[in-house]
Structure 1
């Protein structure tokens, strides 16, 4: 019995796995200690590139790169959630600061200030007006004109207002220039009937036939006025003593469609052979060419057009001065 027992105990000792050697606090304590040591090494290795990450994020913000792309590139270099979140906060902090600085810049402040204080214009210009029409009001309407070609162009437009509106005319301005040879009176005066009927836009006549014939006839009469007065400008400005009339109306509804002065000019033009130059068309011509300043007082252009008055306006010759002086005195006495 004792021999069999010894044999069984020997067999058990051979098949039993060897036990690990215990540390001072047991196997579990040694495993935890090794895990902490690995985590500490990992943290130290991840904390080393912290400064380059911040520099890269700052450089990215300076180069107007997106914050999200910088954060994704920074977090890809680390597998630890704690480190990636801290670096992400730094990047987002820089990004928000830069964006706020840009939004508080001088240029954006200037734009907002302009929106808070809109420019006051004449009542017939509204926020929904055609931008081209608005620019026309701000830059041309009411500015004194002394160039003969420009005056003739504005006279044609004033006649065309019976058929077209100002916005429509302004959008077709290049067509008018092309078909009327840049409003050269000497060229238009030579238009034949065939040439006249060829002045078409999109298959239709630019203006009605009576208006087109009036333009050609007025060009011929304008050449005669240039010979008599030196220029069409001299002739026109003598009616207002070389100085624009200032009405100073407060409201657009007070602006008339014609005046006694317009009736006087209309009568003189028709006596000289001009056509389609009724008092209403003539007064529109006076307004747009700056012979009268009909901007309302509250409009910012009212004072600016007064400043634009030409002060050194003089006739070109003594003969012209004598003739225009006589005509001017006659006109003033009738008004």
Structure 2
């Protein structure tokens, strides 16, 4: 054959060499025919896989997660540093998920969920309201006197004499100064025992430098007249309380400017005391005595002691009650 290939029937066969290639061609033809007779194999199903993410994308996602965790762990520290630096900025956590509130056992209201929630401190008690003449700069001794003694009903004669002496001393001294020298007053006047004060030695009186000499002598003379009143009325307390029908007068003033320096009641009591031989007991002195001894409740209605002094009157036994107990 001169041609490189020849056609046999409908097929085509290759000529590889001048001799010996016919057997190989026949074997290949037989093998091809057998393969065509076999049923075709079903293709295997391969599970679809998502394309692999680039390494840069994975690294970026990991960095975001790390930043979120760090901000959640340090949210409280960041809030504290922001407030202390004075910038006024508020650090919000990425994990804040709710604004519901609840109260714990300490009375602190906090957010039920969320890292960046605000918290409220417990309620701070407000300061009590006192009379206007007691200010934040008032001396503690004076404030305590207002809270514990001034305006409290008194029925003890020793105490009444002491308060009368202090009311007379207001012409020369102030309340804070009188209270600072209270221990000296009690020592000089023998705890204000009317009998002891009435018997003070006249030679000793000039050495008492708490008040002027005329004022000290007036205190001694008043103690002598008090002994006479005790014999007539049973006690100096009964004599004093009869001017207010044995019940404190509630003034009910709202402002300090409304509080008077004297009243018709103090005028009446002052005149009666002078007629009995008392000295240095003008209407102003007597009204100060009525205020401090609780005969008049001149605490302002806005003062927390206004109602308490009225309740204290119901608790304090009168001289008549004590005498009834002794007889029983």
Into which bin does the TM-score normalised by the smaller protein fall?
0.5 to 0.7
Shift in Å, 1:131: 0.5
Shift in Å, 1:122: 0.3
Matched, 1:220 2:224: yes
Match of 1:236 in 2: 240
| 2:235 and 2:319 in contact (8 A); partners too | no
Match of 2:213 in 1: 209
Moved more, 247-256 or 304-313: 304-313
Point out the structure with the larger helix share: 1
Instruction: Give the 5 Å matches for 1:22-171.
Output: 113-114=123-124, 116-171=125-180
Give the number of aligned pairs: 211
CA deviation vs aligned residue, 1:122-175 (integer Å, no higher than 9, x gap): 000000000100000000000000000000000000000000000000000000
Matched, 1:287 2:281: no
Structure 1 segments unaligned to the other structure (5+ residues): 1-92, 94-103, 200-204, 319-335
Shift in Å, 1:198: 2.1
| 1:246 and 1:292 in contact (8 A); partners too | yes
CA deviation vs aligned residue, 1:257-276 (integer Å, no higher than 9, x gap): 00000000000000000000
Match of 2:280 in 1: 276
| 1:242 and 1:313 in contact (8 A); partners too | no
Normalised TM-score (structure 2): 0.60
Shift in Å, 1:107: 11
Shift in Å, 1:243: 0.1
Which structure exhibits the higher relative contact order, with contacts defined as CA atoms closer than 8 Å and separated by 6 or more residues?
Answer: 1
Distance change in 2, residues 1:210/1:314 (3 Å): closer
Distance change in 2, residues 1:113/1:285 (3 Å): farther
Report the Cα distance in structure 1 between the residues aligned to 2:218 and 2:239, rounded to whole angstroms.
19
Matched, 1:264 2:248: no
Match of 2:189 in 1: 180
Match of 1:298 in 2: 302
Structure 1 runs of 4+ aligned residues shifted over 4 Å read: 104-108, 111-114
| 1:270 and 1:277 in contact (8 A); partners too | yes
Report the Cα distance in structure 2 between the residues aligned to 1:252 and 1:238, rounded to whole angstroms.
27
Report the Cα distance in structure 2 between the residues aligned to 1:300 and 1:267, rounded to whole angstroms.
34
Shift in Å, 1:194: 1.1
| 1:122 and 1:296 in contact (8 A); partners too | yes
Distance change in 2, residues 1:130/1:105 (3 Å): farther
Report the Cα distance in structure 2 between the residues aligned to 1:107 and 1:218, rounded to whole angstroms.
58
Report the Cα distance in structure 2 between the residues aligned to 1:176 and 1:314, rounded to whole angstroms.
25
Distance change in 2, residues 1:193/1:138 (3 Å): same
Partner residue of 2:314 out of 294, 310, 316: 310
Normalised TM-score (structure 1): 0.59
Instruction: Give the 5 Å matches for 1:190-205.
Output: 190-199=199-208, 205=209
CA deviation vs aligned residue, 1:229-281 (integer Å, no higher than 9, x gap): 11000100011011000010010110000000000000000000000000000
Shift in Å, 1:300: 0.2
Matched, 1:245 2:249: yes
Distance change in 2, residues 1:314/1:169 (3 Å): closer
